[in-house]
Structure 1
Amino acid sequence: MSESTNRKTVIGAFVLFGGFLALFIVMAFGHMSFLAPSREAVVVFQNSITGLSVGAPVNFRGVKVGTVKSITLRFDPADHKAYIPVVLTLEPDQIHVVKDVPGGNKVSIQELIGIGLRAELNLLSFVTGQSNIELDFDRSVEPVLHPRITNLPEIPVRMSAVEKLKDTLGQIPIKEISHHADAALLSVTQLSDSLNKDLPPLLLSAKVTADRSHETIEAATAAIKDLQAKLDVTLGKMDQLMETGNTQLNARGADLHATLTSATQTLDSLQAILSPRSIDRANLDAALRDIAATAASLRLLLRC
């Protein structure tokens, strides 16, 4: 019986030794903090965290690294603001350090925060409204910490895409746009009413004007046709008159030529008489002198 007991003891010791050896191998070569205690961090929100509840997952780029442990509400009388600290329980066994990296195989939360670790509220479903905490690196967001609210390591908050959308929509002056839309709709309604009142008389006036224009065009067309007929008659008469004039000019051409010839001869005779060297002019001048002398003698006789 003692041999059986010793055999069981040896087998038990061998099993325990194998278990410890396997655990050592996993911890040494797998870089896992197996059975390591969980770590806590806090995220402080100021806006609404609707849909977030205790037990909600904490993910890093879709990989679950923890859960929400507690959600409380704290009021700071110093700045008259309300804060919502959300305590996270992080699971170190979900985060492994790359082998052969200087500095050991542990990375603290403060180191991760220092290199840009940020938290945001993520809406999981629009249908259920459930939310979770998403972690990621984003150095562009300046860290805002709240040492008066908590003593735990604080992961700074950054705005999620939904919160950015809400903030953008909140900056849109919806009331002013609504007032402008109401005013525009009222103006359109008034314009429609005005058109309903003014348009029928305007259309009737346009129809009357169109009818009168049509009548005027018809009258003008008739007048143009009548004028065209009269112009045709006038042009025919003018052609006849021109033909008659040409005939008369041709018939009177010989008489006109003779008259012009006679007039030319008469002018030549007058020029010959009036020329200073002309004999006829000399005789005429002598006759005029004789007449003048005779007249002078008669005046002397009359005086005596």
Structure 2
Amino acid sequence: MNRQALVGAFVLGGIALLVAAFVLFGNFHPFTRTEKAVLVFNGASSGLSVGAPVTFRGVQVGAVDRVVIEYDANTKKAFIPVYITMRPDNIVLAGSNKASMPHLRDLVAQGLRGEMNLRSFVTGSSEIDLDFAPGTPAVLHPDIATVTEIPTKQSTIQAMTQTLQDLPIKQLGDNANTAMIAIQELSEQLDRDLPPLVKSVHETSDQSQAMIMATRDLVEKLQPELMRTLQSVDRLANAGTDQLDARGKELHTLLQTSNDTIARAGKSLNNIDSMTSPRSAERVNLEASLRDLAAAASALRGFAGDVERNPQLLLTGRRQ
């Protein structure tokens, strides 16, 4: 009896340890509320296997139960539903009562979305990451999902992969090949044209250097003559300045004399104007003198006529 009791106790202890291991280290949580959900992916699910963790910003909230391939023969499209077991008790909405834990449908309505990301670059394993993204449209598949569906969004790696797939690799390769051919042709052309060009540059440089030397020699030869010419110009300028200074006084005297002459001429013109004025006394006297002269000339002409007719008048005179 003691041996049987010992064996029974050992078996019960082993079973208890096994259950504790499942509870502590596995996905078996007999006292935690779980919900089933499905995520439908359009792309490949490489590295995703049963038992892969389902995390929410790094915190594990579930595990992958099954990965299935759904192929639609009508649309020729293949979908990959990933069935998971969630423990929504680990997610608590702020301000809500803990007695009423949220359901997956409520979390999906709040914007819960899932994406597939690479878990390890070494092993190539993947995991499901959940996060709230209300801005991402919820694309559901009611024909495929038999349980609560969590909408999916494209992961960063998938976006990069899609971008790389959409790149026109062939066109880029053709453009690169064309560019390499053009570079090779340009290199060959440079190999043909560059030596004559370098030679021409050297010859031009030699000619320029010779011209510079000749110019320098000419400048050195002309420098004394230029200095003498500048000195002559300087002396001429000084002489011109002296002459202008000497003639300045004469010009001043000439201008003063001219001004005086012009003033006198102005006075003479004023006198002549006053004399020729109809009301001036000089003009009246002048007109009277002219009348007297005219009368005397008339009498003289009469006397001359009488003498011409009778010359004796010069001796006897006129008789009264």
1:121 corresponds to 2:116: yes
* Count of matched residue pairs: 206
SS in 2 for 1:165: helix
Q: Map Cα deviations across residues 38-78 of structure 1 (whole Å, 9 max, x no partner).
A: 32111111101111001101112222111111111111123
Offset at 1:106? 3.1
1:45 maps to 41
Q: State TM-score, norm by structure 2.
A: 0.55
1:180 pairs, out of 175, 183, 197, with 175
For 2:143, the aligned partner's letter is: R
Structure 1 runs of 4+ aligned residues shifted over 6 Å read 97-100, 228-236
Q: Compared with structure 1, are the counterparts of its residues 231 and 131 closer, same or farther at alpha carbon in structure 2 (3 Å cutoff)?
A: closer
Is contact 1:36-1:92 (8 Å) kept? no
1:64 corresponds to 2:67: no
Offset at 1:156? 0.5
2:188 maps to 193
Q: Determine the C-alpha separation between the residues in 1 that align with 2:196 and 2:102.
A: 87
2:278 maps to none
For 1:101, the aligned partner's letter is: N
1:151 maps to 146
The residue correspondences of 1:276-295 to structure 2 (distance < 5 A) are none
Q: Determine the C-alpha separation between the residues in 2 that align with 1:37 and 1:230.
A: 115
1:270 maps to none
2:202 maps to 207
Percent of counterpart pairs with the same letter?
40
For 1:43, the aligned partner's letter is: L
* Greater mean alpha carbon deviation, residues 85-94 or residues 170-179: 170-179
Offset at 1:142? 0.9
Q: Map Cα deviations across residues 211-252 of structure 1 (whole Å, 9 max, x no partner).
A: 23333444455555556678899999x9xxxxxxxxxxxxxx
1:163 pairs, out of 158, 163, 171, with 158
For 1:87, the aligned partner's letter is: Y
Is contact 2:115-2:155 (8 Å) kept? yes
Where structure 1 has 5 or more consecutive residues not aligned to the other structure, the ranges are 1-32, 239-304
Is contact 1:97-1:105 (8 Å) kept? no
Where structure 2 has 5 or more consecutive residues not aligned to the other structure, the ranges are 1-28, 233-320
Q: Compared with structure 1, are the counterparts of its residues 234 and 42 closer, same or farther at alpha carbon in structure 2 (3 Å cutoff)?
A: closer
Per chain length, whose mean CA-contact separation is higher, i.e. which structure has more relative contact order (CA < 8 Å, sep 6+)? 1
Q: State TM-score, norm by structure 1.
A: 0.58
Is contact 1:34-1:93 (8 Å) kept? no
